[in-house]
Chain A
Amino acid sequence: MTARVGVITFPGSLDDRDAARAVLLAGAEPVPLWHASTDLGEVDAVVLPGGFSYGDYLRAGAIARFAPLMERLADAARGGLPVLGICNGFQVLCESHLLPGALTRNASLHFVCRAQRLRIENSGTEWTRAYEQGQEIVVPIKNIDGRYLADQKTLDELESEGRVVARYVDVNPNGSLNDIAGICNEAGNVVGLMPHPEHAVEALTGPSSEGLGFFTSVLTRMVGA
Chain B
Amino acid sequence: MARFVVEVMLKPEILDSQGQAVARALPRLGFDGVTGVRQGKRFEIELEGPVDEAATERVRKMAETLLANPVIETFELRAE
- A-facing residues in B39-63 (Cβ within 8 Å): none
Contact B18 A105 (CB under 8 A): yes
Q: A159-191, CB under 8 A of B: which get 1 and which 0?
A: 000000000000000010000000000000000
Considering the complex, give the chain A residue whose CB is closest to the CB of B43.
Answer: A58
Cα distance A63–B10 in the bound complex, in angstroms? 19
Contact A58 B17 (CB under 8 A): no
Number of interface residues of A (CB under 8 A): 21
Q: Which residue in B18, B21, B69 is a CB contact (below 8 Å) of A59?
A: B69
Contact B71 A105 (CB under 8 A): no
Q: Which residue in A58, A106, A147, A150 is a CB contact (below 8 Å) of B71?
A: A150
Question: Is A123 an interface residue when CB atoms closer than 8 A count as contact?
Answer: no
Cα distance A106–B16 in the bound complex, in angstroms? 10
Contact B66 A149 (CB under 8 A): no
Question: Is A62 an interface residue when CB atoms closer than 8 A count as contact?
Answer: yes
Contact B17 A149 (CB under 8 A): no
Cα distance A63–B67 in the bound complex, in angstroms? 10
* Known contacts A149-B14, A175-B15; A109 and B21 CB within 8 A of each other: yes
Contact B66 A104 (CB under 8 A): no
Contact B71 A94 (CB under 8 A): yes
Question: Is B72 an interface residue when CB atoms closer than 8 A count as contact?
Answer: yes
Cα distance A109–B20 in the bound complex, in angstroms? 10
Question: Is A36 an interface residue when CB atoms closer than 8 A count as contact?
Answer: no
Contacts of A149 in B (CB 8 A): 14, 71-72
* Interface size bracket, B side: 10 to 19
Cα distance A95–B67 in the bound complex, in angstroms? 12
Contact B67 A104 (CB under 8 A): no
Q: Which of A66, A106, A151 neighbours the largest number of chain B CB atoms within 10 Å of its CB?
A: A151
Considering the complex, give the chain B residue whose CB is closest to the CB of A100.
Answer: B71
* Known contacts A58-B67, A62-B66; A107 and B21 CB within 8 A of each other: no
Cα distance A104–B14 in the bound complex, in angstroms? 9
Distance in Å: Cβ of B73 to nearest Cβ of chain A = 9
Q: Which residue in B10, B14, B17, B66 is a CB contact (below 8 Å) of A106?
A: B17
Q: Which residue in A63, A105, A151 is a CB contact (below 8 Å) of B17?
A: A105
Contacts of A95 in B (CB 8 A): 69
Considering the complex, give the chain A residue whose CB is closest to the CB of B39.
Answer: A105
Contact B66 A102 (CB under 8 A): no
Question: Is A55 an interface residue when CB atoms closer than 8 A count as contact?
Answer: no
Question: Is A101 an interface residue when CB atoms closer than 8 A count as contact?
Answer: yes
* Known contacts A107-B15, A109-B17, A175-B15; A102 and B67 CB within 8 A of each other: no
- What would 16 A/B residue contacts be, using CB atoms closer than 8 Å? A58-B67, A62-B66, A95-B69, A102-B72, A104-B14, A104-B17, A105-B17, A107-B15, A107-B17, A109-B17, A109-B18, A147-B15, A149-B14, A149-B71, A175-B15, A175-B17
